[in-house]
Structure 1
Amino acid sequence: MRDKPATGVVPSPAVFINAQSAMTGLRGRDLISTLRSVAAHGLRNPIHSARHALRLGSQLGRVLLGETLHPINAQDTRFSDPAWSLNPFYRRSLQAYLSWQKQVKSWIDESSMSEDDRARAQFAFSLLNDAVAPSNTLLNPLAVKELFNSGGQSLVRGLGHLIDDLLHNDGLPRQVSKQAFEIGKTVATTTGSVVFRNEMLELIQYRPMSEKQYAKPLLVVPPQINKYYIFDLSPHNSFVQFALKNGLQTFMISWRNPDVRHREWGLSTYVEAVEEAMNVCRSITGARDVNLMGACAGGLTIAALQGHLQAKRQLRRVSSATYLVSLLDSQFDTPATLFADEQTLEAAKRRSYQRGVLDGRDMAKVFAWMRPNDLIWNYFVNNYLLGKVPPPFDILYWNNDSTRLPAAFHGDLLDFFKHNPLTHPGGLEVCGTPIDLQKVTVDSFSVAGMNDHITPWDAVYRSTLLLGGERRFVLSNSGHVQSILNPPGNPKANYVENGKLSGDPRAWYYDAKKVDGSWWTQWLEWIQQRSGAQRETQMTLGSPDYPTMEAAPGTYVRVR
C-alpha cells in the first residue's frame, strides 16, 4: 500500500561516530583534550558555570523533596524496571541523573564555544553520561533482585565474566557467546559449492531452490570488513535463500581474511578480484552479463569496477547494480568528522602500514561506541551485574566475527573519506583508469537505513545521485544491518520511496510515500526484470572449466 505519506520530521540519526570514524579510529587523547578544553572554558566563564550550577542545585533540591521533574523515556530500556519510578530511593537517583544530564547539555549548548567545540563536547559528555548512569551499578534493582535470587552466585559469575573479558576480549563485555553458533551448522547453512578460489576470495555457487531460474546470475559482493554470511544467517532471514527460491542464480564472494603478507592489497586489487569472479559467473552460466550486488564497502567496490569497465568500454558485462547501505559520496554533515583532522588521518595510515593490517576488532570497538547503551552498557549489566551469559543472536555473532583490512585498502578508504573523489569525474583512479560514475549507465537499486549510524541515509541518497542510468532509491526503517536483513513477513518492516529523485534528500523525503512490508519484494520484481529469460533449472554446480572444489561455506570464512 502506498497511500501513507512520509510525514513527520526528516529522519536524521544522531551520528557522532560513523564509517569514517571507524576507519580513522577514536583516540583517547582527543576525548581528553575535549574535556580539558571544556574545563578551561568553564573556568574562564565562571558566571555561566555558576548559573547552571545553581539551576542544577535547585533541581536536585526539588528531587530530594520527592518531585518528579523529568519523564522517563519509554524507549530507554535501562530504566524499564518499575522500581525506577515507584521506589523513592531509585526515583530520586534517576531524577538526579536526568537533571545532571539536562544541565550539562544546556551548559554546552548555551556556552560561547565554537560550534565544532560544542559538538565535540556533546559527544564526549554523552559517553560520560552513559557511563555514569545509575543503572550501571550494583544498586541496579535488577542486579539486587538477581543477587538475592541466586544466593550471591550472580556476583561470582559476573566477576568471572569480567576477568575473562579483561583477558580475552579487550576489556569490553561480550555481546554474544563464541559457542552460540557454528559456521556451516547453524549459520551459513545454504547448500552450495566453492567453484573458484584465488588468493583473495572464494566464489560460492548455491544450489537452486526453484523449478525455473533466470538466465543472468546474481553476484553478491559483501563488505571486506565482515564475513559474507550476513546474507546467509538463519534460514528465516537468509537473503541467499530468498533469491534462490525466486529463481535467481546466486553466487557469493567470500573474502579471505588478510594478514601482514597482504598489506599491499588496495581498492584496485579488490576490483580486479571482483572482475575475475564476475567472469567466472559468466563462464559457468553462459550469460553475457551479470547482476551485481554490493553491501557497504562492497558497494564502493562494484561502483569502482563499473567505472573501470566503462573506461575500457566493457560495461555491457553488467546488467544491473544493487547498492546496500553503500557510500559513494563520503561527505558527512555530522559532528563525527570533527575528530578526523589531517593529523589523525595520517596517524591512522601510519599505524596500519606498520602493522600491515587494520584489525577488525579495533573497528568493532568504535562501532560499539556508536550505540554504547545498546552495545556496551546493556551487556555490562547483563554479563557482570546479573552474572548472565548474553543471549544467542545470529546478527551479533556475525558482527563479532570481524576480519582485518589490508593496510593499502585501509589507506585507500581514508583517502576516499578525505577527498570524496567520486563526486567529480576522474577524481578516483582504479586499475589505471579514471572513474566517472555519471557515465556508468547501468540501472541501479539503492537501499539506505533510516536509523543507520554507520552510513547515514542522506549520504547514501547523495551517492545514488552520482550514478548514471535508471536509478531507484528506497529508505528502510531500520539500521545498518537490519536494513539488509529485511525478510518479508516482518510486521514492523516498512520503507519510504519516491520515484522522483531530487537534489535534496529532505525534499525527496517530504514527497515520499511510506510502504508497509519489506523492500526485498520490490527489489525482487526489479531484479527479475533485468535477469533475462526463465529456463529449466540446472542442478549441476560449476562447469568443466570451474569444477566444484568443496562444499559451502568454504575455507576462507572460517579463518580468524
Structure 2
Amino acid sequence: MFGAMVKLQAEAAEAMLAGMASLTPVALARDGGIPAAWNAMADQLAAAWQPQAAADPAGLRDALGGALADPGQWRGFVDGWYRALPFPDDATRERLLADSLQLWDSILGQYGIGPEAGRDVPELPRRDRRFADPRWRDQPVFALIHQSYLLLADQVNALVEQAEGIDPAHRQQLAFTMRTLIDALSPANFPATNPVVLERLVQTRGESLVTGLRHVLSDLARGQLTQSAPGAFVVGRDLATTPGKVIHETRLFQLIQYSPVTPQVLAAPLVIFPPWINRFYILDLTPQKSFVRWAVEQGVTVLMVSWKSADASLADVTWDDYIRAQIEAIEVARARFKVPAVHTIGYCVAGTTLAATLAVLARRGEGDKVASATFFTAQVDFELAGELRNFIDDTQLAMIDGLAREGCIDGRYLASTFNLLRGQDLIWNYVVNNYLLGEDYRAFDLLHWNGDATNLPARWHRDYLRDLYRDNLLVEPDRLSADGTPIDLRRIATPCFIQAGREDHIAPPQSVWRLTDHLAGPWTFTLAGSGHIAGVVNPPAARKYQYWTNPGVTESYDAFVATAEEHAGSWWPHWIAWLRAQAPAEVPAKGKRVPGGRGDTVIEEAPGRYVMQP
C-alpha cells in the first residue's frame, strides 16, 4: 500500500512538472499558487487512506515501517522526480541520481542498514525547518525522502545558476519559477510522504484528512487560500476601531479624520496614503498594533485615505487620477484646518505616487504645501525591485490583461502573487496545517488583513507595471507626467523620512534606498528589523525587533549598513521626534481638530463604507 501511495505522489509530481516551460510567475499566481494542482491528488489520497486508517490503524503503521523491504519503492519515487525535471542531458541526470544513491547509502548507514552500516557516518547533511519534527528522522524512509528532496532542490537550483546563454532577467525569472515548483513538490506537502500527517491520520482514524478536504473545498469555493480563522475579525468591531469620521468622499477614496485624545496637537496635520492594493487598516489593526491610534496619542491630527476597491465604475482610472487624489486630500486637509502645509506618509505603492505628487507640486511652485514626507517601504527606482520584477515581461503583462473583468483585476490574483513570494510561509504552511493535518485556523489580525483582497483598475495596474517596474521611467526626468505636469523627482525639496525593512521581499531595502539619489531636499534613512509589514507595524509596547540609524552616511546602502548604529525596539519614537522637528508648532485640540466639532462636514463614522466593499 505504501508503494501505491508513493507512486501516486510521483505521478502527481510528474504531472505538475509536465509542460513546465509554459509556466510563468503570473501563471502560478493565476492558478492560486498551486494548491489547486495539489487538490486533484488529495481526493484520491483521501479515498485510499481514510478506510485503511479507520479500519486498521496498526496495519497502516506496520506497512509504513516495512516500506524499506522493497528499496525500489523509494528509489522509484525519487527517480520519477529526476526524469520529470528538465535536466540538460541524460548524463547530468544520471550523475545527480548517483549523488542521491551515495546520499542514501550514507543515511541508511546511520540506521544500521546497507554497506555503510556500523561506520562513523555524519548526521543528516541538510537541515530545513519544514523537516524539523523528529518524526522526519525516526524512520529511515522519511529521512531518505526529505534528504533526497533537499539534495534535488540544491541540484536544480545550481543548474539554473550554471545554465549558459540566459540573460540575467530570464535567469532570475526561471530561478523564481523553479523555486516555486520545488517548494510545491516538497514531501511535506503530500500525505503519503509526511510522517507527521500520517501519524495524525492514524490517530484520528482518517478524520484529519476529511476535515482538511472540507477546508480545501471551502477555499476553492471562495477562490482564495484561507490564512486566518473565518469570522474571528470584523472591520469596525475588532479592526479599524480608532474613533473618527469620514469628512470627504470622491468616487476613488474617502478621507477619515481621527478624533484627538491630547489637549494640544501639532498644528500641521498628517495625511496618510496607504497602498491602494490593500485595505488601509493595516495601519489601524487591533488597538495594541494600530499606528493610527499611537500617532493620535502622540498629539498628531491624523487623516487617512481609504481607497475604494475597484469596480466597473473605476475602469477608466489611471496614474493621473491617483496623483490628483493625493493632491486633493492634501488640499482638503489644508483648507479644513486652515494651515499652510501638512505632513504626509506614503506606504509602499502609495509612497511611489507620493513622490510623484511631490514632484508635481514642486514643478508647479507649490512644494511648500507639504511640510514633510515619510515613505514606508516605498520605491521610485525599480532597477533593484526584487522578485516582483519576475512578473513584468511582455508575455506576462499580456496575461495580466487577460485576467481583467469589467476593467478590473480581481484582488485575489494580487494576493496569490504576494503569497508566492514567500510560498513556504504563506501557501504551503497552510496546505500542511489546515489541509493535511486538519487543524483549525488561527485567529490572526494581520493574516485577516492579508486575505482582505482589493480589486484594481486594470488599465492603471498594467501601466504601473510597464512604466515603473519594467521600464523604470519614474527616475528619468520628465519621462512621465501627471495631470499635465512633467515629473522630475530632483525637484523635491520637501524634508523626507525614508523607512525600509531589512528583510523586505516586496520592496528590498537596497531598492528603497535609491530614493535618496533623487531628492533635492534633506532626508533621513532608517532601516527597520523584519519585513514589508512587521517592519512597519511594530508598536513600541511590543518591544520587538530593532532599527538602525546612520545620519552621517549618504553615499550608499552598503555604507549605511556597514557602520549603522543598532537600537532596540520600534522605530516609531525615532520617527515622531523627527516629525516634530520639522514643524513643532502646536494648537489646542478642541474645535476643528474634533471631526464635526464646529459644524464641519461629516459623512459617516469611521472606518467608512469603502473599506467594507468587496
Classify the TM-score, shorter chain. 0.7 to 0.9
Counterpart in the other structure of 1:80: 132
Give the aligned partner of residue 416 of structure 1. Answer: 468
Residue identity opposite 1:127 in structure 2? T
Q: Summarize the alignment of residues 521-540 of structure 1 with structure 2, pairs less than 5 Å apart.
A: 521-538=573-590, 540=594
- 1:427-506 pair list within 5 angstroms: 427-506=479-558
Provide the C-alpha distance between the structure 2 equivalents of 1:23 and 1:250, rounded to a whole number of angstroms.
37
Give distance in 2, aligned partners of 1:127 and 1:65: 32
Partner SS, residue 452 of structure 1: coil
Residue 313 of structure 2 corresponds to: 261
Confirm or deny: 8 A CA contact 2:264 2:586 kept in the other structure.
yes
Structure 1 length normalisation: TM-score?
Answer: 0.88
Aligned partner letter, 1:81 = D
CA distance in 2, matches of 1:176, 1:271: 34
* 1:123 correspondence with 2:167: no
Q: Does residue 245 of structure 1 match 2:297?
A: yes
Tell me which amino acid in the other structure corresponds to 1:275. I
**Residues 211, 537 of structure 1: 8 Å contact kept:** yes
For residue 479 of structure 1, give the secondary structure of its aligned residue in structure 2: coil
Instruction: Please give the alpha-carbon distance, in whole angstroms, between the structure 2 residues aligned to 1:124 and 1:258.
Output: 29
Contact 1:201 1:556 survives alignment (8 Å): yes
Map 1:47-446 onto structure 2 (within 5 A). Answer: 47-66=91-110, 70-71=124-125, 73=127, 76-112=128-164, 114=166, 116=168, 118-138=171-191, 139-170=193-224, 173-332=225-384, 334=386, 337=389, 340-349=392-401, 351-352=403-404, 355-414=406-465, 415-446=467-498
Aligned mates of 2:25, 2:326 — CA distance in 1: 24
Aligned-residue offset at 1:90: 2.8
The equivalent residue for 2:17 is none
Query: Is the CA contact (8 Å cut-off) linking 2:392 and 2:469 kept in structure 1?
Result: no
Structure 1 distance, partners of 2:603, 2:390, is 48
Tell me, yes or no, if the aligned pair for 2:503 and 2:530 is still in contact at 8 Å: yes
The whole-number CA distance in structure 1 between the counterparts of 2:258 and 2:233 is: 21
Higher mean displacement: 288-297 or 522-531? 522-531
Structure 1 counterpart of 2:190, which letter? Answer: T
Give, as a single letter, the amino acid of the residue that structure 2 aligns with 1:479: G
Alpha-carbon distance change, 109 to 273 in structure 1, aligned in 2, over 3 angstroms: closer
Seen in structure 2, the aligned counterparts of structure 1 residues 334 and 483 have a Cα distance that, compared at 3 Å, is closer
Which of 1 and 2 has greater Rg? 2
Distance 1:494 1:454, change over 3 A: same
Q: Is the 8 A contact 2:223 2:412 kept in 1?
A: no
CA drift of 1:97 comes to 2.1
Identify if the C-alpha distance between structure 1 residues 296 and 339 changes in structure 2 by more than 3 Å, giving closer, same or farther.
Answer: closer
Amino acid in structure 2 at the alignment position of 1:163? L
Matched with 2:604 is: 550
Alpha-carbon offset, residue 366 of structure 1: 1.1
Contact 1:426 1:436 in 2 (8 A): yes
Change (3 A) 1:296 1:27: same
1:42 and 2:88 correspond: yes
RMSD: 2.6
Q: Relative to 1, partners in 2 of residues 1:208 and 1:24: Cα closer, same or farther, differing over 3 Å? A: farther
Select between 458-467 and 247-256 the one with higher mean Cα deviation: 458-467
Asked which structure has the greater RCO (Cα within 8 Å, sep 6+), the reply is 1
Query: Take 2:575 and 2:498, find their aligned partners in 1: how far apart are those partners?
Result: 10
| Structure 2 letter corresponding to 1:559 | Q
For structure 2, the residue ranges without an aligned partner over 5 or more in a row are 1-23, 35-80, 111-120
Deviation at 1:477, TM superposition (A): 1.4
Q: For residues 396-424 of structure 1, what are the alpha-carbon distances to aligned partners after superposition, in whole Å with 9 as ceiling and x for unaligned?
A: 11111121111232133121222212222
1: CA distance, partners of 2:364 / 2:345: 21
TM-score (norm 2): 0.80
| One-letter identity of the residue aligned with 2:344 | L
Deviation of the 1:376 alpha carbon: 0.8
Q: Percent identity?
A: 33
- Which residues of structure 1 form unaligned runs of 5+? 1-20
Question: 1:115–1:412: structure 2 CA closer, same or farther, 3 Å change rule?
Answer: closer
Q: Distance in 1 between matches of 2:142 and 2:402?
A: 48
- Judge conservation of contact 1:304–1:435 (CA < 8 Å) in 2: yes
SS in 2 for 1:176: coil
Q: Distance in 2 between matches of 1:463 and 1:530?
A: 20
CA contact (8 A) 1:349 1:410 kept: no
- Counterpart CA distance in 1 for 2:393 and 2:476 is 22
* Secondary structure, aligned partner of 1:499: coil
CA distance in 2, matches of 1:453, 1:273: 28
Cα distance between partner residues in 1 of 2:172 and 2:504? 19
Q: Distance in 1 between matches of 2:569 and 2:140?
A: 44
Write the letter of the residue equivalent to 2:179: S
- The answer for the alignment partner of 1:559 in structure 2 is 613
